[in-house]
Amino acid sequence: MKKCENFSEAIAYLNEGEMLTTRELDQFFIHKQRVVRRFHGSHYTLSFEDFKELYRDTVFYLYEEAEETVDPDKDEAYYRYYKK
């Protein structure tokens, strides 16, 4: 994950539509001109002013979803074994 160099860069990424995270446990993004923080199945929204006040000293990273890959050998073995 790419680390944001400073808070201004984090704000710029949010304005570009990117999603940010702090430790891969939460996501920050913009929806309807408010900053949304989503974590552990719940979320809340903040104005930009509140976001800046609360999170200005936080280290942010660009959020990247983990790519799930299927091992073709295991996939083939599974379907061969469970053939109907």
* Secondary structure (DSSP) of 29-76: EEETTEEEEEETTEEEEE-HHHHHHHHTT---EE--PPPP---HHHHH
**In which domain, by residue range, is 57 found?**
7-81
- What is the CA angle 79-65-14, rounded to 5? 160
What pLDDT is attached to residue 83?
61
2 located within any domain: no
1 located within any domain: no
What pLDDT is attached to residue 52?
95
What pLDDT is attached to residue 67?
66
Number of domains in the chain: 1
pTM for this entry: 0.73
**58 Cβ partners below 8 Å, 6+ apart?**
7, 22
68 located within any domain: yes
Mean pLDDT, consecutive 10-residue segments, the chain of 84 residues?
Answer: 93 96 91 95 95 95 78 74 64
